[in-house]
Every structure is written in C-alpha cells, then in structure tokens.
C-alpha cells in the first residue's frame, strides 16, 4: 500500500506549477468545443449556458465542470453499447 | 536514604487506579482505532490514484504506438476536456522540456527522473494543492507526465488533528463514565468482603460474604472466602474442643495422683505404704504423659512432616507380624484372631505409622470384644488400593457417633467404662490422611469393622505382585453403610 511517505519528496519545496485547465482561457476553449457540435439536447444547452455564465462571473472551476459535463454527454450519451 | 513522600489519597485508592487504568486502555484503544482507520483510508486513496495513473499511462502508450505524438496529444486533450472529476494532471514535453500538451504550464522542476512517483505542488484557480505524478520517457526524447490531484487525501490528512481532538473529548467522556462504573463495581465487591472481614474481626464469627447469585467471578471469590471461613471455624471448634477435652480428661488422673500423694503423706504408716502410693501416683502421671505423647504424635502426623520418610514397603509381612503379636494378647482375653492377607501388599508410606494405626485398631478390637469372640484382620489389593480391615464382635459404634469417633478424646457411651484416652482412632485417621487414604467405620453385624484404604504402588515387573493383584481383582467395595471419617485428600 503506497503512502505519501513512499513518494519522492523534494528536499526543498519545488515552485508550484500552474494548472491551465482551471483558467478562463480553457473555459472559453471548452465553450468553443461545445458550440462546434451541431445538435445539442436541452440538458446539454442548460449545462453549456450555466458553464458560460459561471466562467463570466469568475467561478471558473465550476463553469469548467459544467462544460465538461456537457461535452461528456455529447460524446458518450448515444454511443452504441 | 530514600525519603518516601506521602502519596495523595487519590493514588492510594485501588478503585481509582483501576478506573484510571481502564480509562487509559480505553483511550489508547480508541486512538489506535482512529489511527488505523486513517492509515487504511489514505492507503486506499493512494492505491486508487496509482491505479488511475497506471490506466492513463497505458492508454497513452497505446495511442503513441498507434499514431505517435499527435495521437497522444489528441487523446490527452480529450481526457482533459471530459475530466468531470477535475483531477487529471497531464503534461507532454519535448526533448528540451518545451511544452507540447497537457494542462500544466511547465514541467515540474522536482520531477527529474522517469519511472517513479513524485508529489508536485500545483496552483489551481489560485489555490495551492498537491498532485501525485508519474513520469515516463517516450521515444524521441518526449516526456510524459501523468498524475492526479490528491487534494482529497490532503484534506483528509488535515482533518486528522480535528478528528483526534474530537475523539479525545468523546473518549475522555466515555472513559470517565466507564471508569466510574468500573470503580463502583470494584468498590461494591471490595466493600462486601471488607465489611465481612471487619464483622468477623469484631467477633461476629458467623458472618459470611453475600453472594449476588449471578454466578460470576465475584460469587466464586465469595464462595471461596466463605469456604475458608467455614474451615477456619471448624478448626477453631476443634481446637476449643481439644482444649476442653485435655482439661477435662487430664484433671482426673492428676487429681487422683495428688490425692494419693497427699493421703500417703498424711496417713502412710510405713515406708512400703509410702512407696506404693508414690508408684501409683507415678503410674497416673505416666498415663498423663502418654496422652500428651499421643497428642504430639497426632499433631506431628497431621503436619505432614513424616511424609518425607515415606518409602516403598510391603504390608503383607508387617500385618502377619502384628497378627502374631496380637494373637497372643487375644488368647489372653479368650479371643480368636484370624489373619487373611496376601503375601505381598506393596504401598508407599511410613512403615511405623501404618503399623501403629493397625495396632490401634487391633487394640480397640481386643478391648471391646466379649470373651470368646472373634477378631479378623484381613487385607487385600483392589482397584489400586490396599484395603486393611479389622473387624470384631464388640458393641460397635452407633451410627450417630461414627462421624465423631475419630475426634480427639471422643468416647462413646459404651466406651466410657473401658480404659483409654479417646485418641486411638484419631491417630488412625491422621495416619490414613497422611497416606492420602481413608478410614471407614461401619457395622460388622455385630461389632465394628474398621477399614483403612491406602493407595497401592503401581504394578511392577515383580510377578508376585501381579499375581496378588489378579487374585484380589474381584474384591468388593466399601460397605454401603460405611461412614467415611477421613476425606481423601490429594496433593
């Protein structure tokens, strides 16, 4: 069983790395991906609208989460089993 | 020189110490449980993270083999876009660590070697979090980093101090309640024993520890204490009875001797009369001395010190010698003594004491048998026991007196007119007990049958012993009306 003690820890704390998928730019990128899809069901449209609104109001991570849900539904809902 | 400081009363109380130990054990076990749960949970979370990283890296490896770098980049973008849990961390970098894809703005500086896990600090939406990542080297100097945001584990880890604090409060409260309950139980149990002991010390000798009736360990202890007190009571009664008997039975011969001497001093006319009176007084005092000697001998036997002198002995010849000796005495009393013993009766014991015990029984038989009567001395080996039986045709001992017949100085109604000290059967009993044996007294119809049962030696290679054991295998057990006057003891 791995524990945090078993991982390589830096002797000195390394400078943090910024995550790009939490940014407004990435939110915009996701909005474009959703908009590129021609037929969007109402629930997807609702998620898309919520996500865009949240990103515009500074709630970037929640907005990104909504847009990711929308994309996931578009990509996986009607996949043949 | 050590100075003993007086301890506070609270630490002198055993019930408080018991309660404290209970509370401590409860707290330790509770903390151990909390720590174990924390350790197991974080371990499970780490395993899940590692499994997810491994699955992702496998998928990227497959994309690399199918379509090279563009395929990996596309797969990575798709996974990031559909990462509903918002935990995936990827980075794809070229040979000079230039960024080719992923969701990190640069390769973490502390990830310096492929093939092992690293913890990497991240900035997510302005908040510093940690990620667990694994680095791979792809062909062409391309570097791949796959990881997961482990803020959940970090949050859980940060919860631990708070959990421990709350656990401390709850555990302390529960430990306190439990300790008070334990203390109450302990005090109640000790208080009963203590009050009983105090009552007995105050003279209330009949007081006993009350049992709760639950049949638990406290009841078992109360029963053991009560048995001990009963035993002590019986011993005290015995001592009191023996003291009274000594005073009563010895007063007569001492008074008689004194009277003789006084009478002789006053009335003796000649030296011969004076000498005769002194000799009679000496005989009386010799009787007193013999009583004391018998008492001391019984006490010595009961103390068990003679057991160290035990040896393997053969009772067959010993009983035959006794029959020869007492046969002549029986003839003097117009009695017939018959002997029926096997040649060999091996036992482990004290030869002199067993001889004296049988001699006492024969003495009694001769003393109480009517003229023309028959006395039988027999012995046999049965069920690994040697049974020595002396029976006579005398008045016997009434059923109600048999239990007391072996008490020191006890003399039945029919024995009061016969000379004796009342110590003979007490000594036989003591000898039987010393040999882990039993003395039985029962009705010979008419007369008394006294049976001494002692353990025989285990069979040996000696063919004579085996033959005798076989010969006596069909012997009967104790008489159904027999009174066991010595409880068989084990050591």
Q: Which of B39, B42, B104 sits opposite A20 (nearest CB)?
A: B104
In-domain check, residue A81: no
In A, residues 29-68, which contact B (CB 8 Å cutoff)?
30, 33, 60-61, 64-65, 68
In-domain check, residue A3: no
Mark yes or no for CB contact A75/B125 under 8 Å: no
pLDDT, position B380: 93
In-domain check, residue A23: yes
Q: Is A7 on the interface with B (CB under 8 A)?
A: yes
Between B155 and B345, the higher pLDDT residue = B345
| DSSP helix/strand/coil, B75 | helix
Condensed to tens digits (0 to 9), the pLDDT of residues B20-62 reads 787 788 888 888 888 888 888 888 888 888 999 999 999 988 8
Total domains present in chain A: 1
Q: B149: number of CA atoms within 13 Å, CB side?
A: 25
How far is B231 from B216, CA to CA, in rounded Å? 23
Condensed to tens digits (0 to 9), the pLDDT of residues A16-46 reads 899 999 889 999 999 999 998 888 888 889 9
Structure tokens at B333: 């009393």
Q: Which of A7, A17, A71 sits opposite B122 (nearest CB)?
A: A17
In-domain check, residue A8: no
Task: Give contacts of A1 with chain B, Cβ < 8 Å.
Answer: 43-44, 46-47
The distance of A24 to chain B (nearest Cα, Å) reads 10
Backbone torsions φ then ψ of B422, nearest 5 degrees: 80, 25
The distance of B88 to chain A (nearest Cα, Å) reads 10
Structure tokens at B379: 């012995």
Number of CB pairs, chain A paired with chain B, less than 8 A apart: 96
pLDDT, position A8: 57
pTM value > 0.90 = no
In-domain check, residue A61: yes
User: What is the chain B residue with the closest CA to A22?
Assistant: B125
Q: Which of B379, B387, B386, B381 is closest to B341 using CA atoms?
A: B379
Q: Which of B43, B90, B103 to mutate to test the interface with A (most CBs of A within 10 A)?
A: B103
Strand order in the sheet with B127-137: A17-18, B117-124, B127-137, B143-149, B88-93, B99-102
> Which of B70-84, B278-292, B453-467 is least confident?
B453-467
Condensed to tens digits (0 to 9), the pLDDT of residues B238-254 reads 788 778 877 877 787 78
In-domain check, residue A80: no
Q: Which of A9, A20, A71 sits opposite B81 (nearest CB)?
A: A71
In-domain check, residue A27: yes
Query: Complex ipTM, two decimals?
Result: 0.84
In-domain check, residue A2: no
How far is A17 from B249, CA to CA, in rounded Å? 111
C-beta pairs of B237-240 under 8 Å, 24+ apart in sequence: B238/B407, B238/B408
Task: Give contacts of B123 with chain A, Cβ < 8 Å.
Answer: 16-19
Q: Is B385 on the interface with A (CB under 8 A)?
A: no
Question: What is the span of the domain harbouring residue A25?
Answer: 19-75
Q: What percent of chain B has pLDDT over 90?
A: 25
């Amino acid at each position: 069983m791995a524990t945090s003690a078993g991982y390589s820890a830096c002797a000195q704390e390394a400078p943090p790395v910024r995550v790009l998928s939490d940014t407004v730019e990435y939110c915009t990128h996701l909005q474009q991906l959703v908009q590129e899809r021609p037929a969007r069901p109402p629930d997807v449209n609702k998620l898309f609208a919520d996500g865009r609104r949240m990103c515009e109001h500074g709630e970037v991570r929640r907005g990104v989460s909504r847009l990711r849900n929308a994309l996931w539904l578009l990509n996986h809902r009607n996949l043949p089993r | 020189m050590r100075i003993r400081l007086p301890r506070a009363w609270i630490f002198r109380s055993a019930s408080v110490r018991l309660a404290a130990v209970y509370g401590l054990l409860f707290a330790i076990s509770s903390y151990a449980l909390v720590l174990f749960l924390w350790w197991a949970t974080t371990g499970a979370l780490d395993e899940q993270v590692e499994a997810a990283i491994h699955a992702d890296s496998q998928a990227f490896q497959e994309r690399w083999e199918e379509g090279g770098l563009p395929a990996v980049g596309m797969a990575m973008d798709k996974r990031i876009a559909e990462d509903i849990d918002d935990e995936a961390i990827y980075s794809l970098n070229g040979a000079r660590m230039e960024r080719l894809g992923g969701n990190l703005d640069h390769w973490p500086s502390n990830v310096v070697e492929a093939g092992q896990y690293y913890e990497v600090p991240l900035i997510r939406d302005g908040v510093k979090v940690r990620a667990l990542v694994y680095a791979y080297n792809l062909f062409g100097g391309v570097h791949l980093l796959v990881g997961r945001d482990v803020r959940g584990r970090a949050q859980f880890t940060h919860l631990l101090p708070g959990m421990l604090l709350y656990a401390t409060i709850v555990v302390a409260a529960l430990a306190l309640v439990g300790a008070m309950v334990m203390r109450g139980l302990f005090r109640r149990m000790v208080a009963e024993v203590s009050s009983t002991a105090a009552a007995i010390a105050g003279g209330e000798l009949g007081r006993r520890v009350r049992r709760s009736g639950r049949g638990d360990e406290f009841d078992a202890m109360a029963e053991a204490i009560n048995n001990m007190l009963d035993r002590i009571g019986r011993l005290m009664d015995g001592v009191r009875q023996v003291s009274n008997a000594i005073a009563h039975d010895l007063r007569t011969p001492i008074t008689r001797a004194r009277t003789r001497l006084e009478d002789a001093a006053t009335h003796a006319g000649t030296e011969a009369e004076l000498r005769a009176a002194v000799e009679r007084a000496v005989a009386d005092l010799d009787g007193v001395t013999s009583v004391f000697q018998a008492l001391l001998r019984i006490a010595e036997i009961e103390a068990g010190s003679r057991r160290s002198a035990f040896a393997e002995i053969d009772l067959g010849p010993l009983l035959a010698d006794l029959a020869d000796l007492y046969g002549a005495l029986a003839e003097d009393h117009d009695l017939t003594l018959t002997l029926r013993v096997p040649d060999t009766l091996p036992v482990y014991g004290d030869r002199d004491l067993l001889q004296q015990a049988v001699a006492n029984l024969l003495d009694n038989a001769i003393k109480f048998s009517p003229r023309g009567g028959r006395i039988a001395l027999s012995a046999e080996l049965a069920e690994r026991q040697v049974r020595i039986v002396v029976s006579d045709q005398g008045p016997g001992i009434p059923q109600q007196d048999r239990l007391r017949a072996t008490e020191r100085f006890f003399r039945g109604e029919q024995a009061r007119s016969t000379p004796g000290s009342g110590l003979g059967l007490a000594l036989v009993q003591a000898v039987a007990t010393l040999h882990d044996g039993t003395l039985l007294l029962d009705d010979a119809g008419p007369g008394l049958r006294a049976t001494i049962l002692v353990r025989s030696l285990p069979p040996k290679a000696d063919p004579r012993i085996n033959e005798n054991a076989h010969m006596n295998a069909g012997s009967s057990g104790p008489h159904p009306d027999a009174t066991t006057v010595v409880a068989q003891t084990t050591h």
